[in-house]
Amino acid sequence: MFVLLLTYTKPVDEVDALMRDHMRWLDEGYRDGHFVVSGRRVPRTGGVIIARGDDREAVEALAAADPFVTGGVATVEVIQFNASQTAQGLEAL
């Protein structure tokens, strides 16, 4: 499992200009089974994505392809972890 921690590096209006592309990228990630949950940080300084996978290189490449990152409005930190416990109903993730 991975946590993708996005941090905005530009003003929110520049981030919002890439939001449609970012949402398409997220939709593809969900469709392809990579993403489990995602959302904005509070306060709005970036976002968080929980991703599944075992191949760190593949997840780093996926994260680097985020339009926010390629567009230069955010950086992404990829944090890998081993899930040792889950809430009931999430065992399959």
Residue 63 maps to a domain: yes
- pLDDT computed for residue 92 by the predictor: 67
pTM across the whole model: 0.94
Residue 40 maps to a domain: yes
Residue 2 maps to a domain: no
Residue 89 maps to a domain: no
Structural domains counted in the chain = 1
Nearest to 2 by CA among 35, 42, 32, 27: 35
Q: Peptide bond preceding 67: is omega within 30 degrees of 0, i.e. cis?
A: no
Residue 67 maps to a domain: yes
Quote the domain boundaries for residue 19: 7-45+53-80
Residue 41 maps to a domain: yes
Q: What is the mean pLDDT of residues 63-91?
A: 93
Residue 90 maps to a domain: no
Residue 31 maps to a domain: yes
Given a cut of 80, whether residue 93 has pLDDT beyond it is no
